[in-house]
Amino acid sequence: MKSNSQPIKLFVVVAFSCTSLLVSLTPVLAKPTLSSSLSDAYGGLRLRSDAKTTLAQATTFNLPPLPPGPPPGGRVRGGAKRGEPICPLTKPKLTALVPFTESDDSVINVWGQTTVERPSWFFYVPYTKDSPYEVEFVLQDQDSNEISRPPIALPDKPGVIRVSLPSTAPALALNKQYRWFFTINCNKQTISPPTFVEGVIVRVELNPTVVKKLQTTELLKRYAIYAENGIWYDALTILAQMRQKNPKDATLQAEWRHLLGQIHLEDIAAEPILLEQP
């Protein structure tokens, strides 16, 4: 009897150890995939559909210092330049998914960096196409000259939409400030001010060491590299597209909540990500 009891005990210990290891690994496994548009815009990296990427901990977005020159200013939540907007009050409000800072004298600066010539912006829009409202996105250069006004439409339901600079628009120059406006006019018949958000975008170059790392790493880790280097728009675009491809992925959901929480937009994190605008 004694000779049989020891092997049985050994088998139980090994089985329990393997089971514990699998349980400990399960929460950090993800299956990200890469769309063709992401592949074109962010270096051509593709992943097999069964590829698994592990993040040991949530990614930190490192907010860079303000760009040189006059403060960017701007508005991250929907409001009007004068008086009260005529658009219905919603919760959450119209919101730009962009970092912002607030100084001691309550001056808000809304701005972010990109490395691509024709980036994308993301906005939470509380109004739908069933409403008779006009929506507009305008990009201007440092001299207030209009660079692009891509056609966009209100979504089918409230949620986060993506607005991309079209291929026909001029490429963003390096180290230049461009100002963008996203405006919703809820009453075309009056002179009441529309509700809008506003900010600045700057295209920058990463150092060659970081660029090389981006070219040879997995997609989810590329998102982390952009975030850690303060490249907001590129990090957000990668994570948003991965979430669209894998809406039930718990790791991506957690990263999305964590990223938006770092810029004080926790209330937007639970809103759906909708299809890209034309």
How does pLDDT run across 192-202, given as a tens digit for each residue?
678 999 999 99
The answer to whether 117 and 202 have CB atoms below 8 angstroms apart is: no
pLDDT of residue 5: 45
Confidence of residue 191 (pLDDT cuts 50, 70, 90): low
Q: Give me the mean pLDDT over the 252-278 stretch.
A: 89
Centre a 10 Å sphere on the Cβ of residue 213 and count the other Cβ atoms it contains: 13
Please state the pTM of the whole predicted model: 0.79
Query: How is the chain split into domains, by residue range?
Result: 30-268
Secondary structure class of 168 (helix, strand, coil): coil
**Cα 32 to chain centroid, rounded:** 16
How many degrees, rounded to 5, is the angle at CA 141 between CA 109 and CA 211? 75
Q: What are the tokens at 244?
A: 């669209």
Residue 148 phi/psi, 5-degree rounding, is -160, 150
Note the helical H segments in 26-161. Answer: 36-41
Contacts of 32 (CB under 8 A, 6+ apart): 47, 51, 53, 218, 219, 220, 242, 245, 246, 249, 252
pLDDT of residue 29: 29
Secondary structure class of 210 (helix, strand, coil): helix
pLDDT of residue 85: 60
The answer to whether 245 and 32 have CB atoms below 8 angstroms apart is: yes
Q: Give me the mean pLDDT over the 56-76 stretch.
A: 88
Confidence of residue 79 (pLDDT cuts 50, 70, 90): confident
Q: What is the DSSP string of 9-20?
A: HHHHHHHHHHHH
Contacts of 138 (CB under 8 A, 6+ apart): 146, 148, 149, 180, 181, 183
The sign of the dihedral angle between the CA atoms of 12, 13, 15, 19 is positive
pLDDT of residue 102: 86
Place of tokens 């600066």: 109
The answer to whether 219 and 47 have CB atoms below 8 angstroms apart is: yes
Centre a 10 Å sphere on the Cβ of residue 170 and count the other Cβ atoms it contains: 12
Residue 53 has pLDDT above 70, yes or no: no
Q: What is the largest CA-CA distance in the chain?
A: 94
Percent of the chain residues past pLDDT 90, beyond the cut:
64
Confidence of residue 275 (pLDDT cuts 50, 70, 90): low
Percent of the chain residues past pLDDT 70, beyond the cut:
74
Q: Give me the mean pLDDT over the 5-27 stretch.
A: 39
Class of domain 30-268: mainly beta
DSSP single-letter state for residue 267: G
CA-to-CA separations, 110 to 72, 136, 226, in angstroms, rounded = 6, 19, 18
Dihedral angle at the C-alpha atoms of 263, 268, 274, 278, nearest 10 degrees? Answer: -50
pLDDT of residue 89: 86
